[in-house]
Amino acid sequence: MKPGEAARVLILGGTAEARALAAALTERAIDVISSLAGRVSKPRLPVGEVHIGGFGGVEGLAGYIQSEHITHVIDATHPFATTMTRHGVEAAQIAGRPFLRVARPGWRERPDSATWHWVASYDEARQTAEALGRRPFITTGRQTLAHYEPWRDRRALVRVVEPLDADAPTAWTVVLDRGPYDVDGELSLMRQHAVDVLLTKDSGGAYTAAKLAAARELQIPVVVVARPATPTGATEVRSVDAAIDWLATATTG
Ligand code: NAP
């Protein structure tokens, strides 16, 4: 940042943390622009200026940072939005701007996580779940459904935020919902569809955690796809408050 230059923060968003950060910085009279991928038809919008849609890769984002006079880049995208995070790291480096990753804690810290089946990929999740149950509840996201193609004749409950691009297999029940969820609702849904194995990814946070408590109560096994690693070189914090502290330090030198 040049002496006397005011901070203008780009928040790579699409999460509750990104919205909370935009609100907190706006409250502190810091100039913020939040970006969303533009995939959700009715997104929850953060306060302040919003950029909707991709930037066109690393070069596009680096150009945007420069042309918009962005002073700091804070990546608060979902823990599984790994492409955007990698692009953010590289583009900030090209543009010579400080970069911070905010990633909420994962669910490994929950006491019941020791009983879950941790896997490294969606294919492994499917293979592991096959040995555990016959009626899966798939909550790993719309973009992962191709990995469950071998289950097209299996009665599966699938929950996604946005409608699917193509018709789902007729054996599947697709529920559109976006959370936050509560335990009673999850218990009722899981009982109604008689699911006997839950597939999820380690998103962390409270919005979608009720299914884990419900699975525990119903003694349904849980298969969890572990988080991908953060790109090397990225400074990472676990909370919005820590991101605000980082920015305070980064702007005062
Ligand atoms: P991704 O695979 O990491 O990113 C793919 C491309 O989408 C990026 O290269 C970028 O396009 C564009 N993009 C992604 N996030 C963006 C953002 N915040 N602002 C502007 N462009 C963005 O991302 P994803 O996993 O599909 O997630 C997309 C969005 O949904 C993210 O904002 C994420 O926070 C949110 N989300 C994701 C999940 C999940 O499970 N993955 C769950 C909840 C919310 P260009 O290369 O053209 O710049």
The ligand 1 atom nearest the CA atom of 83:
3
Nearest CA to ligand 1 atom 35: 14
H helices of 34-150, where? 57-67, 82-95, 122-130
Calculate how far, in angstroms, residue 19's C-alpha sits from the geometric centre of ligand 1: 15
pLDDT along the chain (253 residues), means of 10: 84 96 97 95 94 98 98 97 96 97 95 96 98 98 97 98 94 95 98 98 95 98 95 90 95 72
Minimal-distance CA residue to ligand 1 atom 37: 78
245 φ/ψ angles, rounded to the nearest 5 degrees: -60, -45
Question: Best mutation site among 11, 51, 84 for ligand 1, i.e. most ligand atoms within 8 A of its Cβ?
Answer: 84
Beta bridge pairs of residue 36? 52
Atom 6 of ligand 1, residue of closest alpha carbon = 84
The answer to whether 194 touches 173, Cβ cutoff 8 Å, is no
Phi, psi of 231 (to 5 degrees): -55, 140
- Position 5 scores a pLDDT of 80
What does the block give as tokens for 33? 């622009």
Token readout for 40 is 């959700």
Neighbours of 118 (CB within 10 A): 16
Q: What is the pLDDT of residue 4?
A: 72
Give residue 253's pLDDT.
60
Helix (H) or strand (E) holding 177: none
For the record, the structure tokens of 85 come out as: 């995070």
Q: How many Å apart are CA 96 and CA 67, to the nearest integer?
A: 13
- Cβ-contact 231, 206 below 8 angstroms: no
